[in-house]
Structure 1
Amino acid sequence: MASTFHGLELGKRGLYAQQSALNTTSHNITNVNTIGYSRQRAEMQATNAIPYPGMHGDKSPAQLGTGVEVNKLIRLREEFLDVQFRNEYKNLGYHEAKSGTFTRIEELLNEPSEDGLAHTMDEFWKGWQELVKNPDSAAVRSVVRQKGVAVAQTFNQIMDSLDQMQNDLQNIIKTKTEEVNSLASQISILNEQISRRIVNDYQPNDLLDQRDVLIDQLSKIVDIDVKNSSNGMVDISVGNGALVTGKTSNKLTIGFDQNSGLVDPAEIKIGGQTVDLGSGELLGNIESYGIMGGNRNSTIPYYKDKINELAMTFANAVNEVHLSGLNLDNISGVSNTKVEFFTGSSAKDLKVNPEIMKSLNLIAAAKDEGGGQSSKGNGELAQEIANIKFKDLNFTGTTSTADDFYRNIIGQLGIDSQESQRMQNNYEGIIKQVENRRQSVSGVSLDEEVANMIKFQQAYNAAARIVTSVDQCLDKVINGMGRVGL
């Protein structure tokens, strides 16, 4: 039969097991607000039994239980939900970046408002309309000049602001690239730490949580593929480029074209291998900044081209009519010189002709009546310039008035922004749902943990009572037996 001391061993193992479970519960409770923490559970199992000999046989008719032990500390995590979360997180990052850019452009153009380009151009046309009534008035000519200055400066300011947006995005792209490389390096270090513990039969649950948090952060920036490797390590790839392989990591580099300044897709590399980012916050910022061959996907370059086309088509139309007319110096015979109203090769450097800024007489308002002659009070040319507002101009791929062309730009911007915001909201909802499901598996519930704590506490007290009972039995055997009558 079993020794009386066997009961002490049973109680001791019970104390150790319940204490370990209590410690695990305490660990869960204290990490209830830790980002990325996965709750843990002490998995108990009966220890190996020993033969329990019978009274009349040399074989073992039964097995004697030897108590309980904590077999392992389980980390409650659902890999499928992690994969689903990361697949949606990259899309959220992409549309957040795109939506942010569209919002900034909308704020810049500020339409409709009295400060927007549409209102400024409308005031410009009104200035010429007033000049029709008083073509020789210096005051009205001054208004026309100032309205022209306002239009030019508005174009300048829009282009300067778009350039600044690109500069900001370039810095963001470089920062996000460094962040990707930093996260990859940290993951490779954790891979090494995890593998060292697993080969020694330890369970590095907290290190696994730390690595999963980093992988989640990485999945928002770039489209990653995570595969389990040996000894608890993971390999991470972006496109066909290996970002993390076991204990080593490669660097992501982004190259810019020297001529255009745009991102060269052939120079997006990991470890010298050209890769396709697929999706993610970094790609959203790259497309917003401008990527070679991106066309409509190159957000800021697309709208810069449209604004520039509007500015130069508008300016050329005004200049063409302006050069065909006569200014006050021509009419009075002081000079035969005719000048363009606007100068500049793009919306960025568009301005009213410096000669007109020096002399209001060089503004042409009269139409040539023949032989380069005209009379004072002739405002027919001013009327022609004012009528450009309603004239169809030739833009790339379309014919429309300048106002309609600009309205199309604003309309397209609104559609792009609304669509991007809608996609962002959709993915935010999906991410929230997936994260809720993840938390239902991995999250810490204080109510549940307190209930477990009470359960393990009672089991611990019961195990302690076993030890006390066995101790009393042993005391009777040791100190009380053989003393008859005492």
Structure 2
Amino acid sequence: MSSFSTLSTALSSLHTQRAALDVAGQNIANANTVGYTRQRAETSSVSATAAASRFSSGLTVGQGVKVTGVARLGDIFADARVRSSTSLAADLAARATTLTRLESTISEPGDKGLSAQLAQFWAGWQDVANSPGSPAPGQVVLESANILAEGVATGYRAVRTQWDETRAQSVAYVEEVNSAAASLAELNDAIRSVTVSGGNANELMDKRDLLSTQLAELTGATTRLQEDGTVTVSVGGNHLVSGDTAYRINLVGSTTLVGAAADGPRLEWERTSAGPVTLDGGLLAGNLASLQGERSDRSGGALAEAAAAYNKLATQLHDRVNAVHSTGTTTVGTPGGSFFALSVDPGTPAALGLTVAVKDPADIAAGAPGNGAYDGSVADEIGRIGASADSPDRAWSAFVVDLGVRTQAAMRSAEVSEQSRQTASLVRLSGSSVDIDEETVNMLAFQRAYQGAARVLTTVDEMLDTLINRTGVVGR
């Protein structure tokens, strides 16, 4: 091995240690970059050049070191677990958020809830029964009836507003999915081009994995890594991203709460041959579940069921009170008619169409026919409706209790799922995130190796100087 070969060996070490320092610097620079996966320069020794010969060529040593690549220290299994747990956590979180917000709008239990308004309404009829000829109790009943009707309508409007906002949010999610899918397809193309040309696509792969996790959070998409570094993303068994091609999805179906029962919001592929989109999780799955219409088996959306509860309460109030009130007479003997009225428009929900038909306390039919002007038996019977086994109060209370139980269960499930997601994320970060202490130690090791290689260069230079400039001149 010649002295010049030693120079080449030392030079290869300088190049290699500098590349390793560059990688360590890149890691430290991106220590706080979201989605960044730490990297490591992979090196291998350069073997000595040897040729077949009849005679021994003597002892030979290697010719230095070289960088064979920059490894990305990620774990595909940890990544897959994060995407799976993120999908489930997002789905349950969306459902829990819907139920929690819905529960907050009903104000139960409390003095501003419908239960309190119903109790006040029935108590007012008892006062009318005790003083059928007095206008004050009658006026109180009319006022409490108007407050009750307005409370039912307000509750329904709150549900309708939440439904509209949830659908608008779902539209935004769909656009986000299509945008992320298009970006991921572009990254696939870039990664494949860089990889084929022998370049380093690690940073592009980091962005690719971030988009894959984002799609899993939105749609529950599954990701499969291909040999060329690209990924195939599937939703419900159909490709959302394949190579450099992205397939769009659209949100179709009813744009109103009333129409959700007949044509519930759903996702469809823009390419008609693929049919509807089947979601396995994600925020969209949770939102769409809440947007579905009412069903007889109670498997419909939470918002539609709440709207149905308000409609049922309005209908029961109308039917039960009118059935009794129409049998009575006023203090002057006029037959009683309907106390409540519903809208004749078939497109108007009962909760919004409930109004008080009686405008004057004198028109309240508190007594039974033939029992005199001061009879309050009919008013007393109306007041006892709230205590009956099939009263509107009991139906409403059953809905409130069911909603509370479902909300608490959804919140607990969401919390457990979120803890699982956080655990999976921590496991991934423990293997792929940058450790500043470790990188500092690595930099010191690379620096010392660089200094050692430089020292070898200096030593060989001194040897060559002696051979070239000093040999043969000693003693002159």
Structure 2 length as normaliser, TM-score? 0.93
Contact 1:117 1:155 in 2 (8 A): yes
Counterpart residue type for residue 283 of structure 1: A
Tell me by how many angstroms 1:86 deviates: 1.0
- Change over 3 Å in CA distance of 1:418–1:270 after alignment to 2: farther
Identity %: 30
User: Residue 444 of structure 1: SS of its match in structure 2?
Assistant: coil
User: Residue 324 of structure 1: SS of its match in structure 2?
Assistant: coil
After superposition, the C-alpha distances for 1:357-397 in whole angstroms (9 at most, x for unaligned) are 2x22111111123xxxx42211111100001011233xxxx
Tell me by how many angstroms 1:266 deviates: 7.0
C-alpha separation in 2, matches of 1:485 and 1:132: 139
- Change over 3 Å in CA distance of 1:267–1:286 after alignment to 2: closer
Contact 2:36 2:206 in 1 (8 A): yes
Match in the other structure for 2:282: 280
2:434 corresponds, among 444, 447, 453, to: 444
Match in the other structure for 2:48: 49
Map 1:32-71 → 2, pairs under 5 A: 32-51=31-50, 58-71=55-68
C-alpha separation in 2, matches of 1:151 and 1:99: 29
User: Residue 198 of structure 2: SS of its match in structure 1?
Assistant: coil
Counterpart residue type for residue 354 of structure 2: L
- Change over 3 Å in CA distance of 1:257–1:305 after alignment to 2: same
User: Does 2:266 correspond to 1:269?
Assistant: no
User: Residue 104 of structure 1: SS of its match in structure 2?
Assistant: helix
Counterpart residue type for residue 340 of structure 2: F
C-alpha separation in 1, matches of 2:362 and 2:102: 38
C-alpha separation in 1, matches of 2:320 and 2:32: 65
Q: Which moved more, 1:275-284 or 1:182-191?
A: 275-284
Counterpart residue type for residue 367 of structure 1: A
Counterpart residue type for residue 339 of structure 1: G
Map 1:1-80 → 2, pairs under 5 A: 2-51=1-50, 58-80=55-77
C-alpha separation in 1, matches of 2:386 and 2:294: 35
Map 1:449-460 → 2, pairs under 5 A: 449-460=439-450
User: Does 2:157 correspond to 1:160?
Assistant: yes
User: Residue 428 of structure 2: SS of its match in structure 1?
Assistant: helix
Contact 2:221 2:235 in 1 (8 A): yes
Counterpart residue type for residue 92 of structure 1: A
1:347 corresponds, among 340, 351, 357, to: 351
C-alpha separation in 2, matches of 1:190 and 1:291: 39
Counterpart residue type for residue 323 of structure 1: S
Contact 1:84 1:434 in 2 (8 A): yes
1:316 corresponds, among 314, 319, 336, to: 319
Structure 2: stretches of 5+ with no match in the other structure? 344-349
Match in the other structure for 1:301: 304
Match in the other structure for 1:212: 209
Match in the other structure for 2:363: 362
- Change over 3 Å in CA distance of 1:267–1:92 after alignment to 2: closer
Match in the other structure for 1:431: 421
Counterpart residue type for residue 33 of structure 2: T
User: Residue 339 of structure 1: SS of its match in structure 2?
Assistant: coil
User: Does 2:412 correspond to 1:414?
Assistant: no
C-alpha separation in 2, matches of 1:80 and 1:292: 40
- Change over 3 Å in CA distance of 1:291–1:117 after alignment to 2: closer
Tell me by how many angstroms 1:265 deviates: 6.8
Match in the other structure for 1:221: 218
Map 1:74-473 → 2, pairs under 5 A: 74-257=71-254, 260-261=259-260, 264=264, 268-269=268-269, 271-272=271-272, 273=274, 274-290=276-292, 295-329=298-332, 331=333, 336=334, 338-345=336-343, 346-353=350-357, 356-357=358-359, 359-369=360-370, 374-393=371-390, 401-473=391-463
- Change over 3 Å in CA distance of 1:251–1:209 after alignment to 2: same
Contact 1:52 1:63 in 2 (8 A): no
Structure 1 residue runs of 4+, over 6 Å off?
none
User: Residue 482 of structure 1: SS of its match in structure 2?
Assistant: coil
Tell me by how many angstroms 1:48 deviates: 3.2
Contact 1:242 1:270 in 2 (8 A): no
- Change over 3 Å in CA distance of 1:88–1:437 after alignment to 2: same
After superposition, the C-alpha distances for 1:151-210 in whole angstroms (9 at most, x for unaligned) are 100000000010000110110110011111011001000000000011112220000000
Tell me by how many angstroms 1:246 deviates: 0.4
Match in the other structure for 2:346: none
Structure 1: stretches of 5+ with no match in the other structure? 394-400
Tell me by how many angstroms 1:228 deviates: 2.4
Tell me by how many angstroms 1:483 deviates: 0.7
Higher strand share: 1
Tell me by how many angstroms 1:436 deviates: 1.1
Structure 1 length as normaliser, TM-score? 0.91
C-alpha separation in 2, matches of 1:26 and 1:114: 63
Contact 2:335 2:365 in 1 (8 A): no
Q: Which moved more, 1:251-260 or 1:455-464?
A: 251-260
User: Residue 232 of structure 1: SS of its match in structure 2?
Assistant: coil
After superposition, the C-alpha distances for 1:49-98 in whole angstroms (9 at most, x for unaligned) are 213999xx634455420101111100001101111111111111111111
User: Residue 136 of structure 1: SS of its match in structure 2?
Assistant: coil
Number of equivalent positions = 464
C-alpha separation in 2, matches of 1:63 and 1:231: 39
C-alpha separation in 2, matches of 1:81 and 1:117: 50
